[in-house]
Amino acid sequence: MSNKRPETMERIATPALAEAFIDEQIKAIRAQVGEKKVLLALSGGVDSSVVAALLIKAIGKNLVCVHVNHGLLRKGEPEQVVEVFRGQMDANLVYVDAVDRFLDKLAGVSEPEQKRKIIGAEFIRVFEEEARKQEGIEFLAQGTIYPDILESGPVKAHHNVGGLPDDLRFELVEPLKFLFKDEVRVVGKALGLPDNMVYRQPFPGPGLGVRCLGAITRDRLEAVRESDAILREEFAKNGLEGKVWQYFTVVPDFKSVGVKDGKRSFEYPVILRAVNTKDAMTATVEDVPFALLQQITERITHEVKGVNRVLYDLTPKPTGTIEWE
């Protein structure tokens, strides 16, 4: 099949066009897979979630979703995947708690690319093990979207579960492969996915692993997760959700001296990052109101264990990258 978007294809910008796309894809998916089973790695990101919702409509429980919790997801994400797909959509969902496995493999590894490699390789291994436990799978669904095919920009998507061994090379089902991101969101909305899943900001495949700088430790990883949750909550409360392109926190692997409850403390800082960009090649820093930065600082230093300072990263890209690793 061609990998070029048909020139006649209308931009999916309205609910009605999304409905038409969904009907058409349901037919195409049924024609492709028949009564056979399809496997999908469901991260909870926009693309894999939309593929899952579409395939559940088309083939119900013949779609086997595998959600791997590698311990590097944001607060509440694994729970939301289970609640939305198993709870609301009655999906055939396998939830794999692989937290210890990933953190053990990553222990002591500080080089960023090495961390990425370990996370990617371990993900394939866990997915492969789950694939082998399933009987009769003949297809692999993937949330490939058109920009992945065009390979534009440095947003390093992790859509394909390439790297599976030869005997697990399934035929691919890629219903979103001609869609741009905004179209995927319109389709996701029409499929009934929650707004916070559909309008989610970009999140790297290696997740919080590249925001817990250097060798990942459980205490700093929790500090990243908790501070990120506070930042997201405060941005949402103050009307910045959906307005700022990407925002998150980073915890470096050094401590500084502070005072807490009248006593000297020696704890980690949290770095806040909030940027805007069109294509992630360059980025500018969001002009976050100072009072909001102070409010976030107050919350993080009081609510997050092991943290005594908060810093705001004022660096555009270039010279900084968006992530710190």
Residues that bind ligand XMP in the complex, under the rule CB under 6 A:
116, 154-158, 202, 204-206, 246, 280, 317, 321-323
CB atoms within 10 A of CB 308: 20
Whole-number Å distance between alpha carbons of 163 and 68: 16
**Identity of the residue, 148 or 174, whose beta carbon is nearer to ligand XMP in the bound complex:** 148
**Identity of the residue, 134 or 321, whose beta carbon is nearer to ligand XMP in the bound complex:** 321
**Identity of the residue, 88 or 321, whose beta carbon is nearer to ligand XMP in the bound complex:** 321
**Identity of the residue, 72 or 81, whose beta carbon is nearer to ligand XMP in the bound complex:** 72
Q: How far is the CB of 305 from ligand XMP (least distance, A)?
A: 25
The single-letter code of the amino acid at 297 is T
Q: How many residues does the chain have?
A: 325
Q: How far is the CB of 202 from ligand XMP (least distance, A)?
A: 4
Q: How far is the CB of 246 from ligand XMP (least distance, A)?
A: 5
Whole-number Å distance between alpha carbons of 263 and 153: 48
DSSP state of 100: H
Contact between residue 189 and residue 198 where contact means Cβ atoms under 8 Å apart: yes
Q: Order of strands across the sheet with 137-141? A: 92-97, 63-69, 37-41, 137-141, 171-173
CA dihedral 192, 194, 198, 203 (to 10 degrees): -140
174 CA to centre of own chain: 18
Q: How far is the CB of 283 from ligand XMP (least distance, A)?
A: 7
End-to-end CA distance of the chain: 37
**Identity of the residue, 79 or 323, whose beta carbon is nearer to ligand XMP in the bound complex:** 323
Contact between residue 35 and residue 3 where contact means Cβ atoms under 8 Å apart: no
Q: How far is the CB of 280 from ligand XMP (least distance, A)?
A: 4
Strands (E) across the chain are located at: 37-41, 63-69, 92-97, 137-141, 171-173, 246-250, 256-260, 263-276, 284-285, 307-312
Contact between residue 25 and residue 191 where contact means Cβ atoms under 8 Å apart: no
Does the CA dihedral 165-166-170-174 come out positive or negative? positive
Q: How far is the CB of 240 from ligand XMP (least distance, A)?
A: 17
Q: How far is the CB of 139 from ligand XMP (least distance, A)?
A: 24
**Identity of the residue, 43 or 92, whose beta carbon is nearer to ligand XMP in the bound complex:** 43
